[in-house]
Amino acid sequence: MRLFSIYQILFDRYGQQHWWPGDNAFEIMVGAVLTQNTAWANVERAIDGLRRKQLLNAEGMAACSPEQLAQVIRPSGYFNIKAKRLQSLCHWLIGQGGVAALARYDDASLRQLLLSVHGIGPETADDILLYACQRPVFVIDAYTRRLFSRLALFQGDEAYDDMRLAVQEALSKNTVSSAERVPLFNEYHALIVRHAKIACRKKSPRCDQCCLRVLCPSASVLSSNVV
């Protein structure tokens, strides 16, 4: 229940975030890989490069040499690793029959399949499931751990799936169907990222201006530690 109240406060404060940026499901999948360990501005530059080279499609990227692909996505950082990961994802996707063909899998099966692809960990898989495939899966990232631990909802170091399932279960009480959960999970994760960047920052959180201050047991402690 408290999780939903927090969502409502964040939504009232920031409004709709319109996530995930991307023209189609494939572009969102590519962005989910490219955003690993880098800022979104760098991902946009890499995606622009792929678009300019007409490589923003699974067939083109899979057929490209790893070296050429790495150079195109260079702005995203870790470009050699990410080129291999993108090519693994593209080969897998082609083998599956494309993005639309993934609709034949239930949520749990598709998650397992994505996790079997080289370089796709739980957070990337869940980004793809939620934002590209419209599946009701909550994304847990460092921002989520920071905010929910400061709010004393979690310790913050729980195993990924323990935290994901606990959040999903708590929020399912406020939704009756998968169709309702997808937009809720979509918006909630985007709002967490927004709030963690603007207010609940890793260093020097702005507790004095925070919309969640009255609910947050960390507010006074962190405010008094700001230098």
Binding residues for ligand SF4, rule: CB under 6 A, are 147, 150-151, 199-200, 205-207, 210, 212-213, 216, 218-219, 222
Which residues, 6+ apart, have CB-to-CB distance to 180 below 8 Å?
none
Residue 88: how many other CB atoms lie within 10 Å: 17
Helix (H) or strand (E) holding 163: helix 160-172
Helix 178-198 to helix 142-150 angle, to the nearest 10 degrees?
A: 80
**Nearest approach, Cβ of residue 178 and ligand SF4 (Å):** 29
**Nearest approach, Cβ of residue 30 and ligand SF4 (Å):** 32
Give the three-state DSSP class for 143.
Answer: helix
**Nearest approach, Cβ of residue 141 and ligand SF4 (Å):** 16
Can you tell me the distance from the alpha carbon of 189 to that of 198, in angstroms, rounded to the nearest whole number?
Answer: 14
Can you tell me the distance from the alpha carbon of 46 to that of 31, in angstroms, rounded to the nearest whole number?
Answer: 9
**Nearest approach, Cβ of residue 203 and ligand SF4 (Å):** 12
The single-letter DSSP state of residue 100 is: G
For residues 46 and 219, which CB has a smaller minimum distance to ligand SF4 in the complex?
219
For residues 52 and 197, which CB has a smaller minimum distance to ligand SF4 in the complex?
197
For residues 14 and 105, which CB has a smaller minimum distance to ligand SF4 in the complex?
14
For residues 89 and 192, which CB has a smaller minimum distance to ligand SF4 in the complex?
192
The single-letter DSSP state of residue 207 is: G
**Nearest approach, Cβ of residue 17 and ligand SF4 (Å):** 17
Which among 97, 137, 98, 134 has a CA at the least distance from the CA of 115?
137
The single-letter DSSP state of residue 22 is: -
**Nearest approach, Cβ of residue 219 and ligand SF4 (Å):** 4
**Nearest approach, Cβ of residue 217 and ligand SF4 (Å):** 8
- Whether 166 and 154 have beta carbons less than 8 Å apart is answered as yes
Tally DSSP H helices, then E strands, for the chain. Answer: 12, 0
For residues 55 and 219, which CB has a smaller minimum distance to ligand SF4 in the complex?
219
Give the three-state DSSP class for 154.
Answer: coil
For residues 136 and 205, which CB has a smaller minimum distance to ligand SF4 in the complex?
205
For residues 43 and 151, which CB has a smaller minimum distance to ligand SF4 in the complex?
151
